[in-house]
Amino acid sequence: MPNYNGVWSLSTQYQNATDWPLIPDNAFFVSGNTDSTKNVIETFNFNSSAINTDFGDMTTSRERPSVGASTTRGIIAGGNAGNVIDFITFASQGDATDFGDMSVTRSNTGGGMSSATRAVFAGGLVSTAVQNVMDYVTISSAGNASDFGNLTVARRHVAGVMSPTRGVTCGGLGANSFNTMDYITIANTGNATDFGDLTVARYPPASCSSTTRGIIAGGYTGSGNTDVIDYITIGSTGNASDFGNLVAAGNNGAAVSNSIKAGMGGFDNDQDIQIITIATTGNSVDFGSLTVGRKGMNGLSPTHGGIA
């Protein structure tokens, strides 16, 4: 304890360091598209290019799940594993635990958005029919998802970006690739509202956020991969703006954020990870590598949605 005369001993500072509000070093890449990576959870460190280590396994193998997070818990939902929702506790390395089920069994979801208390999962595919469904869970309370509302356009392979209060779904695939962006207020329920358009229609891009800005990177346009990185100001509405370019064009990647930097990887099975500073603009640069090259991942962190 402090001595209450305004002075903390070094030992007291050390004992209480875990209570100080620090930007997290670690984020997490989950899943993949190969038999050996579809249940993988691995840790990414923003301060080291010798990055990734194994965290544990999901309860079931899957590809391209939706994700959400609070400051303490990560949620992994759907993918091609049906309606399964898992959770992990960031501070406790180990396997995921069953959380509940999605309201509609569907694949090709993506589109995870979250506040500090609630995670929302958007779009997907049932058999051959694209979906406009959104459902949500309260992150701290295990249980089945409830209906949230509908997207403005049914689609799969969407990306999700978010501030602490608002979520935006970006791009996706229906009969064609979409440049559509919708937004929701995460604390409410109801249908999404048009936000604006991406600079390039595509699916499935990598995406992550700071407290104010969303990043949407790469994807497949319908005729080829793109290296475009877009950004939006989440608190407003309007079309996306050009941020810069990836090291190489690619699709089906994943991104994570500590609200300052964005780490992006898994484009077209590539093992490399790229990094940008979210508040600026410019091209990405190489920053270490995944433990195994793969696509079909998603990324989450204690600052998912700019919570920190």
User: Could you tell me which residues are beta bridge partners of residue 73?
Assistant: 89
The token pair that represents 148 in the structure block: 């949230």
Q: What is the pLDDT of residue 302?
A: 87
Report the alpha-carbon distance of residue 21 to residue 7 in Å, rounded. 19
Q: Decide if 264 contacts 226 (C-beta within 8 A).
A: no
Within a domain: residue 192?
Answer: yes
Q: Which of 160, 248, 149, 247 is nearest to 204 (CA)?
A: 160
Give the residue numbers spanning the domain of 55: 26-300
Q: Is 197 exposed, middle or buried (0-12, 13-18, 19+ CB in 10 A)?
A: middle
| Cα dist from 127 to 1, 14, 106, 185, whole Å | 59, 54, 8, 29
Q: What is the pLDDT of residue 48?
A: 77
Within a domain: residue 43?
Answer: yes
Q: What is the pLDDT of residue 24?
A: 65
Q: Decide if 231 contacts 214 (C-beta within 8 A).
A: yes
How many CA atoms lie less than 13 Å away from 37 in the CB half-sphere?
22
Which alpha helices (H) appear in the chain, and where do they start and end?
10-15
Q: CA 166: distance to chain centroid?
A: 14
Within a domain: residue 184?
Answer: yes
Within a domain: residue 154?
Answer: yes
Q: What is the pLDDT along the chain (308 residues), one digit of tens a residue?
A: 444 444 444 334 333 433 333 456 889 999 888 888 888 899 988 887 655 688 999 999 888 899 999 999 999 999 886 799 999 999 999 999 999 999 999 888 877 999 999 999 999 999 899 999 999 999 999 999 999 999 999 999 999 999 999 999 999 999 999 999 999 999 999 999 999 999 999 999 999 999 999 999 999 999 999 999 999 999 999 999 999 999 999 999 999 999 999 999 999 878 889 999 999 999 999 998 888 888 888 999 887 766 65
Within a domain: residue 1?
Answer: no
Q: What angle do CA 95, 19, 138 make, to 5 degrees?
A: 50
The total number of structural domains in the chain stands at 1
DSSP 101-143: E-SS--BS-B--EE-SSEEEEE--EETTEE--EEEEEETTS-S
Within a domain: residue 33?
Answer: yes
The token pair that represents 283 in the structure block: 């091209």
Within a domain: residue 170?
Answer: yes
Within a domain: residue 4?
Answer: no
| Cα dist from 175 to 94, 128, 170, 206, 265, whole Å | 40, 11, 16, 21, 27
Tell me the CATH number at 281: 2.120.10.80
